[in-house]
Chain A
Amino acid sequence: MNNISRRRFLKMSALLGVGTISGGLPWLRPGLNERSYFLITDNPAGDLGRLLRITGLAGDKGASIEYTCIQPSLLDLGIIVNGRLVDPRHAIGLEPELTGFANALWARRSTGKHLVKIETPRFDQNDLVLFEVNGEIVEQVSLRNNYRQIAIAGKKSGTSFELKDGCLSVTQASCRHEVCKKIGPIYSGRIICAPNKLVATINPAQRLFDGITG
């Protein structure tokens, strides 16, 4: 596997490693600011340290790092941004230091046997779920935490939600149709209970789309 295509290898690694996170490429997951890095290196200590400093993740306990031994492959850096594979050497709008780092790896014209995967923290303190009944805010919780039960009293009856790992779902709906239960679980957007005039919105300030149809 000496002359494996760089792009093909990164894509394979990304699909294997990130499939469970993003639910399959190339879906957009609006509302999450997720990044994963895939580093192929012959000097894990040095290159990883540099990458963590560039990305500001050095010392961040929220970031997770995994090491895998692979067959020798060209040194490279791949980045998954919100479920999309980005080539840091050619992407527009990426931090210049990342582009410089990727170019430097490529310029070494060497192979490495270490694949390092870094996942960044998924939420910051501003990420939250907002619950409104009839246009009034009745509750808001942070996406950083997990909640087994969030009980919201609607216009007619109560509804219970669960928030786990940034995923919101309805666990109990007292209205007969339970349409809201069928909507979730969701990582972004909203769950609506029309009879109760209840709307639960993930990251209401971050509206990636102006409207949703369907």
Chain B
Amino acid sequence: MPCRSLLKKTLIGISFLFLQSGCDTDKEKQYYFSRFAMGTLIEYTIVASDKDHARAAMLKAHQEIERIDGLFSEEDSTSEIYRFNHSKGGIYTNEEVTNCVIDALDYHNKTNGAFDISIKPVLDLYQFQSDDPFPPPDDLIHGALTDIGADKLEAKYSGTHQSWWLGKSSEKAGLAMGGFVKGYAVDRAIQVLRENHIRNGIINAGGDLFCLGRKSGHSWKVGVRHPRQAGSIPVVLTLSNLAAATSGDYQRYFIFEGERYHHILDPQTGKPARKAQSATVVAKTTAEADAWATALFISGPDEGIGLINRMKNVYGMIVDSSGSLHYSRGMQRFVLTGDDTAAAQNTGTNALQE
């Protein structure tokens, strides 16, 4: 019958096409590169047909990260953020910087203020960069707290000057956007990879990462570091076209009189947040994952998980101060390895073994 013959030929043709695409995929390999930028190691895992293509794409992506570092660095005196922090009332800047600040302020609202880029005046008191950091006295902290808050900042387009305006109501106010900008830079670099015909890969900027596409048809495997045991990976996430970021009290800290003072300050108190050891968030963009990881860490398991459960396409897990692990709704679907009890529930609580 002609129909049967046509169907047979169509099926053979489709099978041939699949075979071809399978063969093409088989020709692609994984290439690994690493470079330093933004004060951290940037790791590129790129799936491409040849190393030259992978390297060319990586170099363009890294250029983009360096460009963003140049715009947002708090230490580089030529950066826009440096200019803003050292200005009296604000600066005229470009659309990209202003929109980034607007996005960060939006996350500030969504996280009930837990994520706060205006924390710089308080953060500076701790002098994490100095040789001998120590916790500042309470009166200094209280004073600096009056200079922080979204109400101290303004980010908008000025029709009068036909330019973008970043303003502040207090000269001492400033922006600490480090982690958020890292996430933003990863997102931009991923876009560059896409524009250079890379469909699968990972960019990891010191733990803020985006998993693009898949690895040989499977989701990428991302380990989550144990907050207390160096080298231990208690949880493995499987991600595809998703970002992950972690905030932890072990990443940057000093010990003073037996107490750990880390760099993730609670904007309410001006002191290191104490409700968690680490918080990991999975989201659609790295900037969002970073903002929510900070917010989840500061808010703690009760409030933080509750906030995340109300968000769409944001998932989190948090290790609280006693070492117990809590998951937000839906986070389990990404977890490959974890405590068996937690894996059986939607929102689980389990103790990490020390």
Contact = CB atoms under 8 A, between A and B. Distances in A.
Contacts of B39: 194
Interface residues on A, range: 20 to 34
Contact of B36 (A179, A182, A197): A197
B223 to A, nearest CB: 4
Interface string B195-216: 0000000101001110100010
A149 B34 CA distance: 26
Interface string A20-35: 0001111111100000
- Most central of B128, B224, B231 by chain A CB within 10 Å: B231
A130 to B, nearest CB: 12
Interface string B331-354: 000000100000000000000011
Given A24-B354, A25-B353, A192-B41, A214 B248 contact: yes
Contact of A209 (B40, B236, B280): B236
Interface in A174-191: 176-177, 179, 182-189
A50 to B, nearest CB: 33
A211 B204 contact: yes
A210 B231 contact: no
A125 interface: no
A183 B45 contact: no
Interface in B283-299: none
Mostly helix, strand, loop or mixed at chain A's interface? loop
Interface string A116-134: 0000000000000000101
Contacts of B130: 176
A44 B211 CA distance: 51
Contacts of B6: none
B217 to A, nearest CB: 14
A138 B41 CA distance: 17
Interface residues on B, range: 35 or more
A135 interface: yes
B278 A214 contact: yes
A207 B226 CA distance: 17
Given A135-B34, A194-B40, A214 B232 contact: no
B116 interface: no
A197 B39 CA distance: 9
A210 B207 contact: no
A208 interface: yes
Given A210-B215, A213-B207, A179 B353 contact: no
Nearest to B243: A213
B224 A30 contact: no
B43 interface: yes
Contacts of A23: 229, 232
Contacts of B221: 208-211
Contacts of B131: 176
Contacts of A208: 221, 223, 233
Contacts of B354: 24
B23 interface: no
A91 interface: no
A184 B226 CA distance: 12
Contact of A27 (B32, B233, B246, B280): B233
29 contacts: A27-B226, A27-B232, A28-B233, A177-B252, A179-B252, A184-B230, A186-B231, A188-B231, A189-B231, A194-B39, A194-B41, A208-B221, A208-B233, A209-B223, A209-B233, A210-B45, A210-B211, A210-B221, A210-B222, A211-B45, A211-B204, A211-B244, A212-B204, A213-B207, A213-B222, A213-B224, A214-B225, A214-B246, A214-B278
Interface of B: 32, 34-36, 39-41, 43, 45, 128-131, 202, 204, 207-209, 211, 215, 220-227, 229-234, 236-237, 244-246, 248, 250-253, 278, 280, 337, 353-354
Interface of A: 23-30, 132, 134-135, 176-177, 179, 182-189, 192, 194, 197, 199, 207-214
Given A194-B40, A209-B223, A211-B45, 10 more contacts: A26-B337, A27-B353, A29-B232, A134-B36, A188-B231, A208-B233, A209-B233, A210-B222, A213-B204, A214-B251
